[in-house]
């Protein structure tokens, strides 16, 4: 049964443009297949979700048993996009599973030009490649940096710090 704001009840899941969905703390969350991601974002744009508030990644390597709606295949990486429809004051979250063996997803830059830096940051930190991006290059780490620092398997580094007046390290 629908809630007064037109959203499905918290325990109901339904399809949004063919993709499974769920409610999380009152917000609609859609889980498209990777192949359907670009089309879904375009359909949501047509539905009035014209502002991309955020786009980021997540590495679920130690949490592969996390709960997802029926029919959604768990993958190591996930790209999360938060969209806003300003005319209706509604938000929607898109969560796309991205496999470790092929961490690639189409860029949504053509629909949401503001995602240019967000996609670069997700590439830089997680190694997710956004195909069709106009300038997919590092944005936070130096160009010669090896690896992606927010991956769960990225090695820890250590930089020695010497404080003024402190005895030298032994």
CA distance between the termini of the chain: 68
Q: What DSSP assignment string belongs to 48-91?
A: T--EEEEEEEEE-GGGTT----TTPPP-SEEEEEEEEETTTTEE
Say how far apart CA 78 and CA 57 lie, in whole Å: 6
The correct answer on CATH 3.30.460.80 for the domain covering 1-170 is yes
More confident site: 156 or 127: 127
| Neighbour tally for 91: CB within 10 Å | 16
Q: What is the mean pLDDT of the chain?
A: 90
pTM of this prediction? 0.84
Q: Residue length, the chain? A: 170
Helix, strand, coil shares of the chain as percentages rounded to 5? 20, 30, 55
**Can you tell me the distance from the alpha carbon of 167 to that of 170, in angstroms, rounded to the nearest whole number?**
9
pLDDT at residue number 14: 84
Domain map of the chain by residue range?
1-170
Task: Specify whether the CB–CB gap between 139 and 125 falls below 8 A.
Answer: no
Q: What is residue 160's predicted lDDT score, i.e. its pLDDT?
A: 63
Is the predicted pLDDT of residue 1 greater than 50, yes or no? Answer: no
Determine contact, residues 3/44, Cβ cutoff 8 Å. no
156: pLDDT strictly greater than 90: no
């Amino acid at each position: 049964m629908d809630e007064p704001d037109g959203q499905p009840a918290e325990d109901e899941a339904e399809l949004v443009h063919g993709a499974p969905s769920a409610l999380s703390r009152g917000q609609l969350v859609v889980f498209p297949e990777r192949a359907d991601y670009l089309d879904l974002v375009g359909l949501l744009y047509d539905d009035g979700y014209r502002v991309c508030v955020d786009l980021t990644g997540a590495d679920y390597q130690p949490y592969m048993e996390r709960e997802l709606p029926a029919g959604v295949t768990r993958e190591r990486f996930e790209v999360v996009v938060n969209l806003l429809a300003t005319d209706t004051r509604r938000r929607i979250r898109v969560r796309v599973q991205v496999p470790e063996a092929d961490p690639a997803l189409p860029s949504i830059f053509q629909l949401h030009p503001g995602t240019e830096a967000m996609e670069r940051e997700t590439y830089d930190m997680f190694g997710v490649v956004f195909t069709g991006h106009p300038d997919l290059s590092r944005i936070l780490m130096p160009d010669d940096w090896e690896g992606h620092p927010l991956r769960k398997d990225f090695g820890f580094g250590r930089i020695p710090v010497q404080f003024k007046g402190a005895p030298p390290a032994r």
